[in-house]
Structure formats: C-alpha cells, structure tokens
Structure 1
Amino acid sequence: MKTKNLLVLGLLLIQFSCSSQTEKYNGVSFVASGIKIDETHTAPVLKAQSNTVALMPFGFIKNLASPQIIHNTKRQWFGETKAGLVQYTNEFRKHQIKIMVKPQIWVWKGEFTGGIAMNSEENWKVLEDSYTLFITTYAKAAQEINAEIFCIGTELEKFVLQRPKYWQTLIKEIRKIYSGKLTYAANWDEFKRVSFWNQLDFIGIDAYFPLSDKKTPTITDFENGWKPHKDDIKRIQSKFQKPVLFTEYGYRSVDYAGRKPWESNRIQGSVNLEAQVNGLQAIHNQFWNEEWFAGGFIWKWFHKHHEVGGEENNRFTPQNKPAEKRLAKLYGHKSQ
C-alpha cells in the first residue's frame, strides 16, 4: 500500500510539474485592423503555436500635453474599438485562445507615450478623468469577454511617476469592474520605478532592452547582453513576489537588431533575418524556463498574414520569415 501511494504521489507530482511548465503565455500582439476577422486570420496564429493574443484597442491624444483621450468612436478602425475587441475575441475563443486586453494610447505624430505630462493641476485632473473613462470602458469589456489578463496602461512613465495616488486608486476601481489578472506594460527602462506592482498580478515589461552592438549578434551575444538586465528583473520580481510577464518583446529583422531594439521609426537598415532569429532564441533560453516568468507577447502580428513580413522585410513582425518558424518551435516546445 505504501509503495502504491508513493507511486500515485509521484505521478501527481509529474503531472503538476508538466502542467506548470506549459502554463506560459505564449502570446502574439495582434494588431487591430479596419475589418472583422475570421478563420483565415486566426489560423496563422494557431500555426505559430500561440496560446494567447494581446488585443489592443486604442485611444488618441493630440499631443503630449493634451488631457483629452478620444476613444471608441466610429472614426477609428474597427479593431481599435470595443465592438472590434468583442468580435476578435469571439473568433479566437473558437480555438481556446486566451486573451489579454491591452488598451493603448497613440499620440498624434507618433510621439512617445512615456512623455505624456500635463502643465497644470487642472489639466492633470482632466487627463485622469479622461483616462479613467478610457480604461474602465475596456476593463468592463474585458470582464464581459472573460479576458484572462487586463493591462491597465502601456508605457506611461511620466503619468505613472508623477501621479502615483491616482494609479493606486484607479487599480482599486478596476478591481471592482474586472475579476481577472492585472498587469501594467512598463517600458524596459521604466519598470524599476513603478510603485504599484504590489497591487497587480504580473510585473509587465515591454522588453526592448539593449543587448549587443554587433551587426549580427549570435545567440550567445544576446544572452550575454541579457545578464545585467535579467539581474535587475529578478531583483524587482523578488521584491514584489509577482511573476514577470513580457507584455511586449521582439526584434526587427535588421542589422544591429540588439543595439536599440525599441527603435521602430528607423526604416533604413539591411535585412538581417539571422539576427531576429538569434534574438528570439536567446530571450526564450533566458526566460521561458524560469518559474517566476509567466510568458510574453511578440511584437507584432498582422491579420492579413499572406500580405505582410517576408524575407525582404526588416520590421518587427516574424511573419513569413525564419523567425516565424523559430517562434512556432519555441512556443510548441512542450517541455517548457
């Protein structure tokens, strides 16, 4: 009897171990479009072995000092609205794909959202009211669609640092609306200064850390570049005792892809498919087997798969590149 009980216990431990290892969020950041999606748009995501998608409704601000956020209007692309969020979710749910709702702000002319800051207390109050309306609209929608994760903001460094009490209150209000897990998508150089990680379920990082100055970094080069950043991540994770989620990660298929991985406005640069593959392999080597790491969402994935990416493309998307095949292999690796 004792031997039998030990055998059962062993099998349960193996089962638990295997289940915990396959619970990573192997995600793609699914870019909103102007149309409804269907099986032709979801099938490539499934082929990439992704089990989660980040869906990203948008709000718009005129400039970094403007306090009004325009959102959920008929002038936006369908996928950027609440109706689009629901329709996209319904299509992915047909295949048991998990959902992270990740509302984002676009500043006209493409200015960096981390610089959003008001020039008066009056404007700060207007921004806070406007942001609350924007984010709770999608928190309610996330609850309606039973999204697994809701992201309360993306790369809003000055807003977060200068108005900490607002964010603490906002998180409490969101908790009243939404019952799933919460995160915030901090920029790679911001996450160490976020004060409210203890109120969330994941430490969210848009993981565009500088890793190598080489033209074509090897996997080892990328991994060596990760060492100091990984130490910082582990320190913050240990402090708050929350799992880490890469709310965005990825590399362009371009020369010097590891130098400033956040750069998206540099159109120039020779296509370098190897650098992109090496970067993806290295980040998975470094993080996907860590118990405290919850997974990540590759940036970025477009709905019309057959029309994007390709071996002449030097942008972030892995689609129709060697990086897509590598991603499918990494996401499909059952021993993680």
Structure 2
Amino acid sequence: MEFIKGFTFGWDSQKGYFKTERAKESLRLMQERTASEYCIIALTALQETAHTTEIDYKGLHMVDDDELIEMIEYAKSLGLKVILKPTVNCKDGTWRAHINFFDTDVPCEPKWGDWFASYRDYQKHYARIAEKTACDMFIVGCEMVQTERKEAYWRQLIAEVRQEYQGLVTYNTDKYQEDNVTFWDALDLISSSGYYPINDWENQLDRIEAVIKKYDKPFFFAEAGCPSRSGSAMIPNDWALEGSVNLQEQADYYQVMFEQTKRRSWVGGFGLWDWQTYLHDESEVEQNDDYGVYGKPAEQIIKTYYQSR
C-alpha cells in the first residue's frame, strides 16, 4: 500500500454545499496547500438518539447523490484519490460511540438487528456510489465503539458492502480501541483515529504495533489532528475543550506526531482532521481555534511532511 497523504473533507456538508464553487475552491486549496494526495469525503447521516434504530441519509443534512458524484469527479480531475466515508451522528448531540442496545432482544425495546438493518442500507447505498465512481477505498464506519462488540453483525455488513464495492474496505475505530476490534481479518486495512496526547505517542504506537503484527494488515490513521487551542495537545480528541487560541500548540502537535509515527514503517499514512468545505477567512486565523489548519503554522508542517514522503 502506498503512503496515504490525506485530509478529511466535507464533514457536516449539507444539501447543496458540494455544488458551490466555494466548496470546490476549498478542495483545490487543500491539495495545493497541504500536498495531500488523498481526499476522504466524510458524510453525516443522522439518527434521533443513541438508542433509536432508523438512520436518515436522505434529508437536507446530507449532500445529494448527484453533487457527491460531481465532487468525487472534481477531486479526481485534480489528481486526488478518493476515500468515501459514510458516518452517522445523533441529532441530540450524543457521540456515535455511545450508540447501544440490549444484547438480548427485549419486547418493546430497540434492537441491534433493526439498527444494523438500517445501517447496512445506508452503507450499501454509498458503497454503490463508491463503485460507480471508482473510489480508492471505502470506510464502513467510524468510532462506533459500543457497536464493535457485535462482531457477527459487522462481518455480515462488510460482506454485503463487498458485494456492492470491489475496492479496499476498512473500518475506522476510535483511539485506544485498535486492540478491541475482533473483525479486522474481514477487512483490507486497519485504521483508527489517532487523537493521542502529544507526550504519549510512543506508548500508543507500541500497543497498536502488536495489533498490526497479529493481523498482518496495512494500517493508517483515518483521522488525526489537534485544535489550535491551549491544552488541546494533551487532549486532542476534546473538540469542546475550553482554552485560548494557540496556533503554535497545534503546530507542535503535528510536528511531534509526524516525528513519532515516521519511526514506525507500518504507519501507512493519515486522513487528517479536517479540511472544511467552507473555509474560514485566512485573515481571521488568529481568532480560529478549531481543527482546521488553513492559514495556520500547522499547514506548512503538514505540507513539508507530505512532500517528504
């Protein structure tokens, strides 16, 4: 597997976003300013709560199929490789890792079987688009920690996705969960979200390396990044952490992350989090404390690193 020099793009895009020139210009700038070669297009379906079983992927909160296909084709016209990542969130704000049901079916209670049936329908819909547009990879889920113990359901889902899409298939587990997933053998790659404290990369890479050796699969960080906020380098996964804008702390985080992972030949790349569909104004970076790197010192660190690989 070639080294994945990637960025996540399109997160939280709604109907119509991908049709705009502003979105296309953002994608072009992502490639130009970070030397990215891969674009991970992340979609956001919704369910009401962590304990409801219907997944809505056809509402105004989603880009239409035709505009998604248009954006994939535009990305390819730029020379980018495309990874499609249909994800689900909860409308009430609960993180998707907490989607959960009783292990034993109970009358009048929501059931795993119903949720996975809806989730399979969602994934297979986009697997067909990934096949139609010749996407380079398909990610069947992201950070769905409580669902991961339902191994049989995941194996069935992966098998059905493969009937629709012939390319590489992976699952993006959450930080610290790489050694808890039991269905890696059914996938082509292992991937996870690498939001590890800046001073703990070596320990976590040691732990992940044991998983890679066990399954003998390629690995990459399908997500990784850090807000430009004081304190975030120690808790990069906490998007709600309160702190002052700190562009240097974000840059330092990327520098350390790249230095530590470069020593491990099995780390096969990144899908960094995240490049926004609608970019902030570059003149306002001193007031911007989110994960975006546009116009920030971290942007050049990423470009230099990707150009060196």
Q: Same fold (TM over 0.5)?
A: yes
The aligned counterpart of 1:72 is 58
Q: Is the 8 A contact 2:44 2:88 kept in 1?
A: yes
Rg bigger for which structure?
1
Instruction: Letter of the 1:85 partner, please give it.
Output: L
Cα distance between partner residues in 1 of 2:73 and 2:26 = 13
CA distance in 1, matches of 2:20, 2:8: 15
Tell me, in whole angstroms, the C-alpha distance in 1 between the residues paired with 2:158 and 2:62: 28
Partner residue in 2 for 1:168 = 155
Q: Could you state the TM-score of these two structures normalised by the residue count of structure 1?
A: 0.83
Quick one: distance in 2 between partners of 1:238 and 1:114? Answer: 26
Q: 5 Å matches for 1:148-163?
A: 148-161=136-149, 163=150
Partner in structure 1 of residue 173 of structure 2: 186
Match of 1:286 in 2: 260
Look up the match of 1:311.
286
Matched with 1:27 is 6
Q: Offset at 1:290?
A: 3.4
Asked whether 1:95 is paired with 2:82, we answer no
Q: CA deviation at 1:202?
A: 1.2
Report if aligned partners of 2:170, 2:190 keep a CA contact under 8 Å in 1: yes
* 1:237 matched residue in structure 2: 212
One-letter identity of the residue aligned with 1:76: H
Return the match for 1:106 from 79, 82, 89: 89
* Separation of aligned partners in 2, 1:27 and 1:110: 27
Pick one of 167, 170, 177 that aligns with 2:164.
177
Where do residues 188-267 of structure 1 align in structure 2 (5 Å cutoff)? 188-209=175-196, 211=197, 222=198, 224-266=199-241
Equivalent position SS for 2:270: strand
Gaps of 5+ in 1: 1-19, 212-221
CA contact (8 A) 1:72 1:82 kept: no
- Choose 288-297 or 124-133, whichever is displaced more: 288-297
Equivalent of residue 276 in structure 2, options 272, 280, 302: 302
Give the secondary structure class of the aligned counterpart of 2:92: helix
**One-letter code of the match for 2:78?**
H
Q: Tell me whether 231-240 or 25-34 shows the greater mean CA deviation.
A: 25-34
Determine which of 101, 104, 121 is the counterpart of 1:118: 101
SS of 1:326's equivalent? helix
Q: In the TM superposition, what whole-angstrom CA distance separates every residue of 1:61-87 from its partner, at most 9, and x where no partner exists?
A: 1001101101123x2242xx4333212
- Letter paired with 2:45: G
- Higher helix proportion (structure 1 or 2): 1
Contact 1:37 1:87 in 2 (8 A): no
- In the alignment, the residues of structure 1 paired with residue 255 and residue 53 of structure 2 have an alpha-carbon distance, to the nearest angstrom, of 41
How far apart are residue 329 of structure 1 and its match? 1.3
Q: RMSD across aligned C-alpha pairs, in angstroms?
A: 1.8
What secondary structure does 2:45 align onto? Answer: strand
Q: Render the CA deviation track for 1:182-204: whole Å, top value 9, x for unaligned.
A: 11110002221000111111111
CA contact (8 A) 1:44 1:305 kept: no
The equivalent residue for 1:128 is: 116
User: Residue 295 of structure 1: CA displacement?
Assistant: 0.6
User: What is the rounded CA distance, in whole Å, between the counterparts of 1:44 and 1:139 in structure 2?
Assistant: 27
Indicate the residue corresponding to 1:273 in structure 2: 247
SS of 2:285's equivalent in the other structure is coil
The alpha carbon displacement at 1:240 in A equals 0.5
Report % sequence identity: 24
Deviation of the 1:37 alpha carbon? 4.2
Partners of 2:262 and 2:75 lie apart in 1 by 24
In structure 2, what is the Cα distance between the partners aligned to 1:326 and 1:274?
11
Secondary structure of residue in 2 paired with 1:151: strand
Deviations for 1:232-259, whole angstroms, at most 9, x for unmatched residues? 0101111111111101000111111222
CA distance in 1, matches of 2:62, 2:151: 32
After superposition, the C-alpha distances for 1:288-327 in whole angstroms (9 at most, x for unaligned) are 4633222111111112335367122111111111111211
Q: Does 1:147 align with 2:135?
A: yes
The 1-side partners of 2:296 and 2:280 are apart by 11
| 8 A contact 2:88–2:96 mirrored in 1 | yes
Partner SS for 1:139? helix
Give the match for residue 138 of structure 1.
126
Distance across 2 between alignment mates of 1:289 and 1:179? 32
In the alignment, the residues of structure 1 paired with residue 278 and residue 292 of structure 2 have an alpha-carbon distance, to the nearest angstrom, of 12
Say if 1:113 and 1:156, in contact at 8 Å, map to a contact too. Answer: yes
